[in-house]
Structure 1
């Protein structure tokens, strides 16, 4: 993919030209709710949710329509009131997948709140509410939050990091959330602190968002164990493992998790959703999504009901001023290309990006010149070209030995490669092959 951004390299990352000016000053507005919504059963890491409704059933906003399975899984709730009209395979951001389709009755009838009283909630109560609400990591990882936040006496957490380092070039959904919902983010972070018994909470921003810093700092009164840390703007500053090392000096071991170094990381949107669930009884049925890109008529930050097809958001943004060359779930660096505008917004949809025809042109691939730039910019110190080479020759064991599973899929390697080798694409292929080998 040919992305016409200017950039400078830094070991472990890059400084890239941002395109946030299209939406960073636009307040969040409510997207129109379409007549039909599509709910993938796999909009989270782990096992798909299991349908608990049938065709013809009536549902409300907040009705659990698919139940989390045992282990790593998450509930799916309806974002509209209406009728279940299909349970079938539909286009999703990861290809065809099982979905529940609901026809909107436009009555907006809601289920009762998740709980009646927030004053006497125990840690177990709060985790149960988070689980019932269907909350997952909303920065893109989509790991089920109730599972991630469950206290483990063998791995006690002493530091909670609230990630507001929105380093992708187009995305401003977290930016606007921090300005307009700073109180909810702080209260959500405090809920995690109560659940995990952590001593410290660190809210992390990049230095190009002084308006976010001002909004959040205003809400910190009364929270003595919370602090703001402002880091230099660099991509991918918000990557979990890199963030942990920047804040705590600790390195997550290869194949390890933040809990292995006594740390819990959550996105600002996830923290706000947790506040809404625990303090207001609201399940996760909507989220803020940036819809942006050069071909789009009017880029916007939209509060979108989960299950809304992307084509409804294109209409909301006034359509296109020029034919797009590519549509991405995510940003140009690590977003997933989409071939259908029927794909619905899910819990992890922080940004939908449209690239121009010129931006989408593929440059001719040539042989590796051994410049080592992919190694220099890798934030987790991998050797992307060696993993890519192993995958291309079918040596999946070697790709695994080289640490393919530790790749955070930031896209720096592909972006900087002068030979235009599809490094990220190959590493993603290697990861899928490793998972398939393990499952088989």
Structure 2
């Protein structure tokens, strides 16, 4: 049964057809790999190897710093040849450059991992493995698995609602790795012993729901929620409301309403960490868009520069005008093909000149469409105006920090005002002001 949900959404072209039926392809890594020390929300990892160090697949090369941070592991064997600051998606970050020896020699698995891991050890193994949210948010997963003692978790939600246009990486994972995903759910259920487990998928991915239902046939707690395909259906707070009827309060977290929510790929990574003792060194990524000759879903080693994936997909049939890390709604423009695949790279989207909207910005026409489509009921134009005036306190008062950065407002704006960009900048300024106090 498909659940009809209230609007506060948009219906962009999905553009998933070219990769929807493409099985995941395993590929080798290129000769040079790039590892940013910040592939996650929170404090960057600290490099713990030096130039000239020999590494293996699974060698810890960046150590988490602080509670909200994540370890970084080498995904190839070889030699560290350079440590330098480079500009990537999130800004200038310290990066380790490794020369791949092509042998893929592996470190031993975590000795504590296996079938009988004690529930209290699970969050520590997740932290050790460097797992961060693989749907793109990249929040360190172990933190979610350590809620405050006064927070009773009674519901687990798997986010398979892949609403961003072009991406099919989650869909293919649910089809091809359903057994590992469900085993990851069993691991987390062992930690919380919840009452209910929901798997949220959109109605254009019913095959994935059927496959997961088949694998979980003996798991009575699990219920598949088939949701209307709209954007941003996969937003965490909206998914909680659609599945449970509960509303996360402003400034609150899923744990405040008894929920733990993670992407389906994150649950697969949890399985591999806890049962197999493997750190996070690879992920499924969709390489797609009109300019690409042969779009694919690839199992890519983290640290692979995007340039090296273009030839694997047949090169270009038309020169791209724009390259996006992610999709056109929430993604960020890439200006350098040396930017690597990271933990949160669900897809890379290439767009032609005709697909890029180059219309000039105009004054706001007061149509209120940005308010109508905001899934968290903000006033995007007012927050944007406050930021452009330099009134950061006003932007905060208007709820800028509650923005989920879905991009609906910028997509719908007829005046082409950079609403999402301005709100992102306002959030950064608010955080900087808080640190200065």
Q: If the length of structure 2 is used for normalisation, what is the TM-score?
A: 0.97
Please name the residue that 2:342 is paired with: 346
Equivalent residue runs for 1:150-189 within 5 Å = 150-189=146-185
After superposing on structure 2, the runs of 4+ consecutive aligned residues of structure 1 that deviate more than 6 Å are none
Q: Are the counterparts in 2 of residues 32 and 316 from structure 1 also a CA contact under 8 Å?
A: no
Please name the residue that 2:3 is paired with: none
Please name the residue that 1:69 is paired with: 65
Distance 1:369 1:62 in 2: 54
Please name the residue that 2:191 is paired with: 195
Q: Are the counterparts in 2 of residues 240 and 265 from structure 1 also a CA contact under 8 Å?
A: yes
Please name the residue that 1:4 is paired with: none
SS of equivalent to 2:316:
coil
**What is the number of equivalent residue pairs in this alignment?**
432
Q: Are the counterparts in 1 of residues 25 and 297 from structure 2 also a CA contact under 8 Å?
A: yes
The superposition leaves residues 222-271 of structure 1 with CA deviations (integer Å, 9 ceiling, x where unpaired) of: 21111111111110000001111111111111111111111110000000
The superposition leaves residues 99-119 of structure 1 with CA deviations (integer Å, 9 ceiling, x where unpaired) of: 111110111100001236523
- Report whether the alignment pairs 1:295 with 2:291: yes
Please name the residue that 1:26 is paired with: 22
Give the one of 302, 314, 334 matched to 1:318: 314
Please name the residue that 1:129 is paired with: 125
Distance 1:303 1:153 in 2: 38
Shift of 1:151: 4.3
SS of equivalent to 1:126:
helix
Distance 1:131 1:114 in 2: 12
Equivalent residue runs for 1:226-245 within 5 Å = 226-245=222-241
Please name the residue that 1:304 is paired with: 300
Distance 2:373 2:274 in 1: 40
Distance 2:101 2:86 in 1: 21
SS of equivalent to 1:280:
coil
Please name the residue that 2:281 is paired with: 285
Shift of 1:30: 1.4
Change (3 A) 1:117 1:353: closer
- Report whether the alignment pairs 1:99 with 2:122: no
Shift of 1:361: 3.5
- Report whether the alignment pairs 1:381 with 2:377: yes
Q: Are the counterparts in 2 of residues 150 and 196 from structure 1 also a CA contact under 8 Å?
A: no
Please name the residue that 2:208 is paired with: 212
Q: Are the counterparts in 1 of residues 201 and 224 from structure 2 also a CA contact under 8 Å?
A: yes
Distance 1:55 1:197 in 2: 46
Please name the residue that 1:141 is paired with: 137
